Structure 1
Amino acid sequence: MASRAGTVALPSDLVDVTALLDAYYDVRPDPADPGQRVAFGTSGHRGSSLRASFNEAHIAAITQAIVEYRAGQGFSGPLFLAKDTHALSEPAQNTALEVLAGNGVHVLIDARHGYTPTPALSHAILRYNRSAAAAASGKADGIVVTPSHNPPADGGFKYNPPHGGPADTDATGWIAGRANELLETGLQGVKRVPLPEALSAGSTGKFDFLSSYVDDLPSVLDLDAVRSAGVRIGADPMGGASVDYWGEIGERHNLDLTVINPTVDPQWAFMTLDWDEKIRMDCSSPAAMASLIELLESGARYDIATGNDADADRHGIVTPDAGLMNPNSYLAVAIDYLYTHRKQWPSSASVGKTLVSSSIIDRVAADLGRKLVEVPVGFKWFVPGLLSGEGVFGGEESAGASFVKKDGSVWTTDKDGILLALLASEITAVTGKTPSQHYGELTAKFGSPSYARIDAPASREQKAALGRLAAADVQATTLAGEDITAKLTEAPGNGAAIGGLKVTTESAWFAARPSGTEDVYKIYAESFKGPEHLAQVQAEAKALVDQVISGDSVNG
């Protein structure tokens, strides 16, 4: 049977929103079931009310734990509370507000009663914490209710401390542990008031996330150049939280910008199915972005078209000459452009990338004379550098990145899909070439990599074994016909454990990491010798990892 990936969703693919919302309130999670406990991944706690992993009890417990955590840390400023367009986001935000008000926490919710992108939340936290108000009231932090690009049945809940970025594992570990204690005691210790009382409480206020973010964009982007060049922009919110932001960006900054499909639908019935025939708002996926790609192929007159996921922390860049760019390709172009066009950035500032991002970034950074800082997966690793100005750019292979303002000061410390999407228009305006044309120039100079990710089955025990690997456990000396040059279980940029393994050769590499949500491990691989060599790297990588996590020795 032919795959339906890239085709518009059918009624049978759509979630039953009523059942989803009923389950949020009616289903009581069993703390004895590991799958129903609170668990923070790299981007917060995620789950579905239909699987008893994202329900009212979870959110009440997590919020109470955050209240106690921030009190213990001395965070006494306002807490910014935001949500995206997933069906579970509004009830979860309401539950959180009831608990926050019950604890007397000063909460700021969206003044427009709308949706808030993750980068707008990060921007708001940072801006407040640099103000005189923070000196008087204490540092602000925030919660954004989003499962990012996950399917419509999912919910997500993420905490951002005063540094504005994703909370680190020390914070999330404490919060998850306390939340599970509260679940085990039937929520004893959770303070809560009814929603009407929470909304009218003196501790609940309003904040205009949109204006704060949109009006500040000229400090980080050359929108004058975009406007002067008349770059025609097509922006697809993909049914997500950026829906109102794009229209305001075009209007306030007088850009030739069209909002493509401003529909908000909790079923996402307009979406084309992802590679696995699921609805997933992944703006880096050709299948999920099929409608936008087809629009340009059919002759739509946009110089740049972009997509964002549900909380707008990811970007997808579509050009008329090349279609959807691979996220790694665009990151390389963005780095090459920014480090040669931001004259006020420190000459010593490094380039930040995750260790599963393309090695063409390494070659670009070396050509620029910049230090490369390679960190584990997770945007939280870029936060210190973005705050200090030592790392002016941080990017992930999964289409998430951010960079500092023109003057080198911090913009956001969370991924910003709107920012990176607008940068594509700046690049086009300033250079007269699309990002995909620039990438062609980079590959002519540095070589053309073949890159892919595959998933392989693994039990919970095998995933744990992969996470505990030491470099010495791998005895192999060659990979796909080349000598192995490094075996890494710690990121070279900061020495942090990568929770897996990376193996490199002169022209190729692979990295293997256990999934945090499924019984699989992920193999990322790249080769500068072409697709056939990449396939050989993938096959040998899978065999090597399977043997190691099964307890067998591996010899080259």
Structure 2
Amino acid sequence: MAVQIQFGTDGWRALIAREFTEDNVARVAAAHARYLRAQGGKRVVIGFDTRFGGARFARVAAGEFARRGLDVLLATEFLPTPALSFAVKHYGAAGGVMITASHNPPEYNGYKLKGPYGGSVTPSIARDVEGYIDAPDEPFGSEGRVESFDVRQAYYEALDRVLDVALLRTYQGELYHDSMGGAGSSWISEYARHANFEGLTVRPVRGEPHPMFHGVNPEPIPQNLELVSNLLAACQDPTFACVTDGDADRVGAVLAGGRVFNSHQIFAVLLKHLFDRGVRGRVVKTVSTSAIIDRLCEHLGLEVIETPVGFKYITDAFLEGEADERLAVLIGGEESGGLAVRGHIPERDGVLNSLLLLEAVAKSGKSLPALFADIERLTNFEHHYDRVDLHLDPAFDIKGAMRASLDWTDVAGQGVQEVVTKDGVKFVLQGGAFVMLRGSGTEPVLRVYVEAPSEDAVQVLLAEAVRRVHAFGTPNASSSSAGEDSTAPSPRA
């Protein structure tokens, strides 16, 4: 029987050689081609990251599009997802394909769909494409052409228009870049050369492209960053390391001394920096993102839009802003480190956001932790956060556990002030903390998110929430915190 293919938060992903096969890639590409033909599309752009078989899977997809009469621009070497998304818009294509499983373990690959605007497809487009899977073909007509492309120079010129290049040329210092063996390899150091940042030394970490990502999952969270944390242990502020995930659309950071600077802190610093530069607009955040974003926006007089988890919802908001200036988005971001900013494509871009973090340091003369401490003082909000992923037995009723949690009136003695069910179940507690439960859309995993005024409070709330989940059923595997080692090879929504 044919494998059932369903799109998650950003396309389709599966285990290589099990579900992710040439035949199944062909099925998805054929459906995508049928959709684009129905929309009058004539051209598609296809890229891939450093994962095993990426180039071959990309060629398979290209063949399906060409057979259905679409011209194909096919990458000849790996490139970051944001560069592929930029290429879709730059070349006026009807859509794009990125062969990548992003931050997932190396055993996985995936198929990301990109819209003509240069970003993740909206939920409605994803549903429409999924509806064409295994549908009867219309007559194809003449075959399309398959040609190669190289968008690096044009992409760098697009970054020039977003960044304060003149300011960055004055910066004297070091920037470490851990590309984790992924598609971001060399893209920041080459940009620095392109822009003539003579005072900046970019030091690559795991810069050699690697299909197994040098032995870690290519996700910029603490358990995967021991190497770069050790390298930064002896450094002094304001030096820091930017970290890009497997396809370089997400960004992480490690501070001098080796401490991880989390995604919420990155979001807040970039928001404040762009505001100080004079950029205005709405701020879009997913429901699992820190309340410090809301506090900062309240202080700055900015409207906040909260969405379910999935960057496609943020893309929707950016597209609304492109259609109506009054709805323009300043920045949109998610808990996983994906951020998009005004003036660029409506897409997560780990390369650009790494350079914007450096720009914030260069402009202020302060380190990243000092900039975030300023925001905490400004908002009178102290940020502490952690997340646990519970890998459960497939028979465990995750939806039932979340339904049962709706009866919670407190967590560890802190009263529930509000229950938000936009995506999973989020408990806003008295005193400013929140606890959130959210099931993965692709695997038996329940994520538990906690933010609280102190690190001790975070751990107390996490422990209590996990205990209650265990009381509902019996997980088959141990939980894995964002600060602990976890090697479970599972895709993360």
For residues 281 and 537 of structure 1, the distance between their equivalents in structure 2, rounded to whole angstroms, comes to 28
What is aligned with 1:554? none
For residues 215 and 207 of structure 1, the distance between their equivalents in structure 2, rounded to whole angstroms, comes to 16
For residues 312 and 470 of structure 2, the distance between their equivalents in structure 1, rounded to whole angstroms, comes to 29
Question: Offset of 1:125 from its aligned partner?
Answer: 2.4
Of 310, 313, 333, which residue of structure 1 is paired with 2:246? 310
Larger radius of gyration: 1
Structure 2: unaligned runs, 5 residues or longer = 323-327, 475-493
For residues 190 and 288 of structure 1, the distance between their equivalents in structure 2, rounded to whole angstroms, comes to 47
Of 35, 39, 43, which residue of structure 1 is paired with 2:6? 39
Question: Offset of 1:176 from its aligned partner?
Answer: 3.3
Question: Offset of 1:437 from its aligned partner?
Answer: 1.4
Instruction: Check conservation: 1:231, 1:428, Cα contact below 8 A.
Output: no
TM, length-normalised to structure 1? 0.77
Deviations 1:22-66 (A, max 9, x none): xxxxxxxx43xxxx421211121111224x110111100000000
Residue 456 (structure 2) pairs with residue 532 (structure 1): yes
C-alpha spacing 1:322/1:331, structure 2 compared with 1 (3 Å): farther
For residues 190 and 536 of structure 1, the distance between their equivalents in structure 2, rounded to whole angstroms, comes to 59
SS at structure 2 position matched to 1:109? strand
C-alpha spacing 1:302/1:263, structure 2 compared with 1 (3 Å): farther
For residues 64 and 394 of structure 2, the distance between their equivalents in structure 1, rounded to whole angstroms, comes to 37
What is aligned with 2:77? 114
Question: Offset of 1:154 from its aligned partner?
Answer: 1.2
What is aligned with 1:7? none
Of 134, 144, 154, which residue of structure 1 is paired with 2:98? 144
C-alpha spacing 1:382/1:330, structure 2 compared with 1 (3 Å): same
Instruction: Check conservation: 1:233, 1:302, Cα contact below 8 A.
Output: no
For residues 466 and 401 of structure 1, the distance between their equivalents in structure 2, rounded to whole angstroms, comes to 31
SS at structure 2 position matched to 1:524? strand
What is aligned with 1:230? 172
Cα-Cα RMSD: 2.8
For residues 215 and 403 of structure 1, the distance between their equivalents in structure 2, rounded to whole angstroms, comes to 16
Residue correspondence of structure 1 range 21-32 to structure 2 within 5 A? 30-31=1-2
Question: Offset of 1:215 from its aligned partner?
Answer: 1.6
Instruction: Check conservation: 2:234, 2:257, Cα contact below 8 A.
Output: no
Instruction: Check conservation: 1:116, 1:209, Cα contact below 8 A.
Output: no
Question: Offset of 1:546 from its aligned partner?
Answer: 6.6
For residues 218 and 362 of structure 2, the distance between their equivalents in structure 1, rounded to whole angstroms, comes to 28
Structure 1: unaligned runs, 5 residues or longer = 1-29, 130-138, 183-187, 193-197, 272-278, 406-410, 491-497, 551-556
C-alpha spacing 1:419/1:239, structure 2 compared with 1 (3 Å): same
The percentage of aligned residue pairs carrying the same residue is: 28
Question: Offset of 1:124 from its aligned partner?
Answer: 2.2
Residue 210 (structure 2) pairs with residue 265 (structure 1): yes
Question: Offset of 1:300 from its aligned partner?
Answer: 8.8
For residues 302 and 442 of structure 1, the distance between their equivalents in structure 2, rounded to whole angstroms, comes to 17
Of 376, 393, 397, which residue of structure 2 is paired with 1:462? 397
What is aligned with 1:216? 158
Question: Offset of 1:128 from its aligned partner?
Answer: 4.1
For residues 382 and 393 of structure 2, the distance between their equivalents in structure 1, rounded to whole angstroms, comes to 32
Instruction: Check conservation: 2:228, 2:258, Cα contact below 8 A.
Output: no
Residue 318 (structure 2) pairs with residue 368 (structure 1): no
For residues 538 and 233 of structure 1, the distance between their equivalents in structure 2, rounded to whole angstroms, comes to 34
Residue 43 (structure 2) pairs with residue 78 (structure 1): yes
For residues 84 and 257 of structure 1, the distance between their equivalents in structure 2, rounded to whole angstroms, comes to 25
Instruction: Check conservation: 1:89, 1:146, Cα contact below 8 A.
Output: yes
SS at structure 1 position matched to 2:109? strand
Amino acid at match of 2:185: V
SS at structure 2 position matched to 1:452? strand
What is aligned with 1:282? 219
Instruction: Check conservation: 2:426, 2:437, Cα contact below 8 A.
Output: yes
Residue correspondence of structure 1 range 83-482 to structure 2 within 5 A? 83-110=48-75, 113-129=76-92, 140-179=94-133, 181=134, 203-255=145-197, 256-260=200-204, 261-268=206-213, 270-271=214-215, 279-283=216-220, 285-299=221-235, 303-320=239-256, 323-341=259-277, 343=278, 345-346=279-280, 349-387=281-319, 388=321, 390-405=328-343, 411-445=344-378, 446-456=380-390, 457=392, 459=394, 462-465=397-400, 469=403, 474-482=406-414
